[in-house]
Chain A
Amino acid sequence: MLEISELTAAYGDLRVLWDVSLSVRTGTSTIVLGRNGAGKTSLLNAIAGLPPAAAAGRIVFDGEDITGEAPHRRIRRGIGYVQENKQIFRQRTVEENLLIGSVTLAGWRRGTPARRAALDRAYARFPVLAERRKALAGGLSGGQQQMLAIAQALMSDPKLLILDEPSAGLAPTIVKDVFALIGELKREGLSILLVEQVVEAAITVADHIVVIDNGRVAAEGPVKQFDDASVIREIYLGRSGTPVAGA
C-alpha cells in the first residue's frame, strides 16, 4: 500500500528526516512512536506532500511513485490525512466541512449522488455530526472536532488513512472512542498509519511499530516485539536515558 524508502526531507536547508524507510501493508496498521520533535509529524507531512519536501528517497503508494506530487493528487489517489490539532475549517459549518472533504469525488455540484451517499455514510457513522450539521465547526467540543476531522478525511473514500495524534487534548473516554473507531475502520479494510502518544491505546490497533528519534528510524518491528511495554515506556520516560536499540 505505502512504501517509503530512505526518505530524507528538509524545510529549506534545515533537514528533519534522514533515511527513513517504512511500509504499510494493505489492510494493516503501522504506528509511529517517538518523542516530541523526533520528526513524526514531519514524516506524515512529507507523505501527504506538505513541507518538509523530500530531498532524497522515494514514496511509493499503491505501486506508483508519488514523491514530489502535489498534495491534492496524493489525496485523489486514496490517501486520507487527519492532521494534528483537530485540523478542520472552524469558520465553516459541519456539513460544509464534510463537503470540502468530498471534492475528490466526481462532479462539481454539491448534490451529486456519490456526494450525498458519502454524506449519508458520514452521518450514519457519526450521528452527533448529523445533529449539528448546521453548526460552525469551531464551536464543537474537542472530541466532536476530532470526529469531524476524521469524517472529513473519510469523505474522499481513502484506501490509506493517516492520523496524527488523534488523541491529543482529548479526555480518556473520548480517546477510547477514537481508537474504537480506528479499529473499526481497520476491520473494514482500511490501511492505517498512525502517530500517537497514548501508546497503550495505540497498540490495541497496531500491527507494526516504527520508533523515530532525531529524524531517524530508531527501531521497528511487528507489534509482538514490543510486547514488553517497558521498552515503549523507555522511549517516553527514558528511564535509561538512551533511545531504544534496534528491535
Chain B
Amino acid sequence: MSRAALTATRLRPLRPALPIVVLLAAMAAPYFGMSLYAARTVMLICGLALLVSSINIVLGYAGELAVGQVALYATGAYVAGYLGSAHGVTEILIVIPIAILVVIVIGLVTGIPGLRLGGWSLAMVTFFLVLLLPDFINVFEHFTAGTLGISVPAPTLFGSTITGTNFYFLTLLVTALWFAVFRNLVLSRHGAAFLVLKHSPVLAASLGISVFRLKLLAYLFGAIPAALAGVLYGWLQNFIAPDTFTFQLALSILAASVIGGSTSIYGAFIGAALLQITQQEFTSFNQWQLVLYGAFLILAGVFLYNGVIGAGRQLAGVLRRRGWWPTVTLPVRTEVAPPPAAEENELPGEELAVQGVSKSFGGNRALDDVSVTAKPGEVTAVIGPNGSGKTTLLNLVCGFYRPTSGTISLGSRTLAGLASYQVARAGVARTFQTPLIPKDLTTRQFVATGRYIGESAGMAASILRLPGYFRRTRADDAEAGRLLGLLGIGHVAEDPVSSLPLGTRRLVEVARCLAARPSLFLFDEVGSGLDESDLDRLADAIRMIKRAGGTVVLVEHNFPLVLKLSDTIHVLAQGRLLASGTPDEIQADPRVLEEYVGSTPSAEGPSSIDDFAEPALSQTEER
C-alpha cells in the first residue's frame, strides 16, 4: 500500500507554506547584507522561472510543446522599452497590462493554426517565432531600433521611480503573484481538466470540454508569464538588443522545464536556478551548454518525464519500499458512507430518439436504417454480436461520427451534427469500453471532473480563490464523495484513481457520469471483464439511476446482465435492427439465439437467416 500512500502524498495539494517561507527569506535578504550580485542572480532566476512556468503550463498540463517563450519574452521587453523611451510611459500598472495584451494577440495568431492539428505543428510554429525574431525586430525598426538595441527607462509606480532594492522587491512580488495565480489554477478543477485533456482528448470531449479551446486557453495563459519576464528583464537591464533572444535561450528554458519537472509548479525554480547558476559560475559550461541541454532533454524524455522532483519522488518511493525512509501515513479521511439503500435524487432524464440512422464508411454500410428510442426511467439495451454496429451507434449518438442519414435527438434537442463536446454539454454522459482513467488524480477529483461543465467555478474565481471557489470545490468534493458512497466505493475516494482495479474503475466511471446529472446515460460494455460481485453492484447502480428517472442506454454484450436490467432490448445484427422487445420477447426470439450462438433450436422451425443473406457490410468499429 506504500505506493498508493506515496502517490496520495503527491496528489495532496502542495502546502503553500514552504514557498511562502522562501519568499519571505528572499524579501528579508537585502536587510542582511545581500550583495548586489546575489540580488541580481535572484532576479534573473525569477525571470527564468517565469519563462519555465510558461513552458510547464503548455507542456506539462496541456501536453503540447511550445517553445516560442523567447519571442514572447522579447515582446514583453520591447513593449517596456518602446513605451518608456518613445512615449515616456513607465507606469508599471500600464506597461504590464499592455505587454500581456500584446503577447495574447501573438498567442492567438500562432496558437489557432498551431493547435488545429496539435503535436509538432505548435512546436514548429513557436520555433519559427524564435527564428523570425531578428527579422521582426528589423522590420519594426521604428519601434525596436533594430540591431542597435533600445534603452528601457526605469519603471515607476504611481509616479515614483522603482530602482535598486525596490526593484528587487517588485521582481519578487510579480513572480510570487504569478506563481500564486498558476498554483491556484492548476490546483483547481481546471487543473484536473488539463490532466484529463492530456491523458485523453476523447474523455475530455465526453466531459463537455472543447479540446481545442482548452489547449488554446492553456497556451494563452502560458504567454502571460513570458511577457512578465520580458518586462522585468528590460527594466533590470535598462537596455535590450536582439542578440539576447536566441534559439539557445529557447532550448535552455525547455531543458530547465524538464529538469525541474514539467508538471510541477515550483520545479520551475529548481530548473531556473540550476541553469542560471551554472551559466554564471562555470565558463566552460557555456561552451558545452547546448550539448548538455540536449542530453538532458533526451534523458528526460526517456527516463524521467517528471524531472528532478519526479525522480526524487521515485527515489523516495524505492527507499520507502525498502523501509529506509519513513512512510507518511495519511490520516484516512473517514468517509461517512451512507447506507447502501440510499437513493439518488431525481435525475433530469430525457427521451433519446434515434430515427432511421445510417452510417457508411467508404462503401461499407456499418449501420442501416436503425431506429431506437430510450425513455426516461427505463433501461434500454442495445445488444448484438461483435461487429454488428453497436459501437458505431454509440459513437453517432456521442458526436464522434456524423450520421450519413437519419436524425438523433434528445428531448427537443437535435444531437446529430453536434461536436462531441457539445453533445456532452447537451446532457449526455458516457462510460468507455476500456475505462479512460487519467493519472495524477484522486478518485474524488476524477469523479468531480464530471461536474466540470455543470456548475463550474469560473477560472477567475479559482485563481483569486474567491469564496465562490471554495463553496464550489466543497460542493464538488461532497457530491463526489456522496456518489462514491452511493455506489459502495466511498473508501477509495482518496486513492489515486489509476491504482484501482477494473471493476472499481467501471463503478467510478458510473459515479463520474452521475456527477454530471445528465439527461442520458450511455454505458458501453460496462459489464465486460467484471466478476459476479462487481456485476451485482453495477446492476444495483443502474437500477438506482432508473428509479431516479434517468434515461439509460446499455450497449452491452453480457446477455444475462441485459436480461436482468432492461425494460426494452434492441438487437443489432450486421448493422440492422434485428428485433426489439421486452427481455422475455427477446429471449424467446429464435433469431436472436441464432445470432448469438449460431444455433437453430430444433423445435422452432426454419430460421429467418435468409433475410441477411447479402454481402456483409460491417466496418471495423472504432473504440
Which residues of chain A have a CB within 8 Å of any CB of chain B? 14, 35-39, 84-86, 138-139, 141-143, 146, 165, 167-175, 197-202, 214-215, 229, 232-233, 236-239, 241-242
A-B contact pairs, 8 of them (CB 8 A): A39-B529, A142-B618, A172-B609, A197-B598, A198-B598, A232-B597, A238-B558, A242-B532
Known: A37-B527, A169-B618, A172-B594. 19 other contacts (CB 8 A): A36-B557, A37-B530, A37-B557, A38-B529, A85-B621, A142-B387, A142-B615, A142-B616, A142-B618, A142-B619, A167-B598, A168-B618, A169-B389, A170-B574, A172-B612, A173-B613, A197-B596, A215-B529, A237-B597
CB under 8 Å from chain A, chain B span 586-623: 593-594, 596-599, 609, 612-621
Residue of B528, B593, B617 touching A35 (CB-CB under 8 A)? B528
- Let me know if A84 and B386 touch, CB within 8 A: yes
Q: Chain B contacts of A138 at CB under 8 A?
A: 362
Residue of B387, B525, B596 touching A170 (CB-CB under 8 A)? B387
- Let me know if B597 and A171 touch, CB within 8 A: no
The A contact surface, by secondary structure, is loop
Distance in Å: Cβ of B419 to nearest Cβ of chain A = 26
Cβ of B531 within 8 Å of any chain A Cβ, yes or no, is yes
- Let me know if B620 and A171 touch, CB within 8 A: no
Given contacts A36-B558, A85-B620, A168-B385, contact A141 B615 (CB under 8 A): yes
Cβ of B363 within 8 Å of any chain A Cβ, yes or no, is yes
- Let me know if B557 and A141 touch, CB within 8 A: no
Which residues of chain B have a CB within 8 Å of any CB of chain A? 362-364, 385-389, 502, 525, 527-532, 557-560, 574, 593-594, 596-599, 609, 612-621
Q: Chain B contacts of A174 at CB under 8 A?
A: 615-616
CA of A215 to CA of B531, assembled, Å: 10
Q: Chain B contacts of A202 at CB under 8 A?
A: 598
- For A172, the closest partner residue in chain B by CB is B609
- For B534, the closest partner residue in chain A by CB is A214
CA of A83 to CA of B482, assembled, Å: 43
Residue from the set B529, B557, B598 with the largest chain A CB neighbour count within 10 Å: B598
Distance in Å: Cβ of A24 to nearest Cβ of chain B = 22
Distance in Å: Cβ of B501 to nearest Cβ of chain A = 8
Residue from the set A35, A169, A197 with the largest chain B CB neighbour count within 10 Å: A169
CA of A141 to CA of B531, assembled, Å: 37
- Let me know if B574 and A169 touch, CB within 8 A: yes
* 8 interchain residue pairs of minimum CB distance: A169-B387, A37-B528, A169-B618, A238-B560, A142-B616, A37-B529, A198-B598, A36-B557
Given contacts A198-B598, A237-B560, A238-B560, contact A36 B618 (CB under 8 A): no
- Let me know if A237 and B596 touch, CB within 8 A: yes
Residue from the set A139, A172, A175 with the largest chain B CB neighbour count within 10 Å: A172
Distance in Å: Cβ of A115 to nearest Cβ of chain B = 28
- Let me know if B614 and A171 touch, CB within 8 A: yes
Residue of A171, A233, A242 touching B616 (CB-CB under 8 A)? A171
Given contacts A142-B364, A169-B574, contact A36 B525 (CB under 8 A): yes
Q: Chain A contacts of B528 at CB under 8 A?
A: 35-37
Residue of B364, B388, B560, B599 touching A141 (CB-CB under 8 A)? B364
Distance in Å: Cβ of B528 to nearest Cβ of chain A = 3
CA of A153 to CA of B617, assembled, Å: 22
CA of A85 to CA of B389, assembled, Å: 12
CA of A138 to CA of B360, assembled, Å: 13
Q: Chain B contacts of A232 at CB under 8 A?
A: 597
- Let me know if A143 and B557 touch, CB within 8 A: no
- Let me know if A200 and B525 touch, CB within 8 A: no
Distance in Å: Cβ of A179 to nearest Cβ of chain B = 9
Distance in Å: Cβ of A131 to nearest Cβ of chain B = 14
- For B501, the closest partner residue in chain A by CB is A14
Q: Chain B contacts of A173 at CB under 8 A?
A: 609, 612-613
- For A243, the closest partner residue in chain B by CB is B532
- Let me know if B362 and A141 touch, CB within 8 A: no
CA of A84 to CA of B616, assembled, Å: 16
Given contacts A169-B574, A171-B613, A241-B560, contact A214 B362 (CB under 8 A): no
Residue of B362, B386, B529 touching A165 (CB-CB under 8 A)? B386
- Let me know if B362 and A35 touch, CB within 8 A: no
CA of A139 to CA of B615, assembled, Å: 13
Q: Chain A contacts of B364 at CB under 8 A?
A: 141-142
- Let me know if B597 and A142 touch, CB within 8 A: no
- For B574, the closest partner residue in chain A by CB is A171
Distance in Å: Cβ of A239 to nearest Cβ of chain B = 8
CA of A136 to CA of B617, assembled, Å: 16
Q: Chain B contacts of A37 at CB under 8 A?
A: 525, 527-530, 557
CA of A38 to CA of B502, assembled, Å: 12
- For B528, the closest partner residue in chain A by CB is A37
- For A235, the closest partner residue in chain B by CB is B597
Q: Chain A contacts of B609 at CB under 8 A?
A: 172-173
Q: Chain A contacts of B386 at CB under 8 A?
A: 36, 84, 165, 168-169, 197
CA of A201 to CA of B596, assembled, Å: 11
- For B614, the closest partner residue in chain A by CB is A171
Q: Chain B contacts of A14 at CB under 8 A?
A: 502
Given contacts A36-B386, A142-B364, A238-B560, contact A175 B598 (CB under 8 A): yes
- For A198, the closest partner residue in chain B by CB is B598
Residue from the set A37, A86, A141, A199 with the largest chain B CB neighbour count within 10 Å: A37
Distance in Å: Cβ of B394 to nearest Cβ of chain A = 14
Distance in Å: Cβ of A126 to nearest Cβ of chain B = 15
- Let me know if A199 and B597 touch, CB within 8 A: yes
Distance in Å: Cβ of B463 to nearest Cβ of chain A = 36
Q: Chain B contacts of A165 at CB under 8 A?
A: 386-387
Distance in Å: Cβ of B425 to nearest Cβ of chain A = 30
Given contacts A141-B615, A142-B616, A199-B598, contact A168 B557 (CB under 8 A): no
Distance in Å: Cβ of B44 to nearest Cβ of chain A = 42
Residue of B525, B559, B597 touching A198 (CB-CB under 8 A)? B597
Q: Chain B contacts of A201 at CB under 8 A?
A: 598
- For A175, the closest partner residue in chain B by CB is B598
Distance in Å: Cβ of A28 to nearest Cβ of chain B = 21
Distance in Å: Cβ of B573 to nearest Cβ of chain A = 9
Residue of A146, A171, A238 touching B559 (CB-CB under 8 A)? A238
CA of A104 to CA of B105, assembled, Å: 56
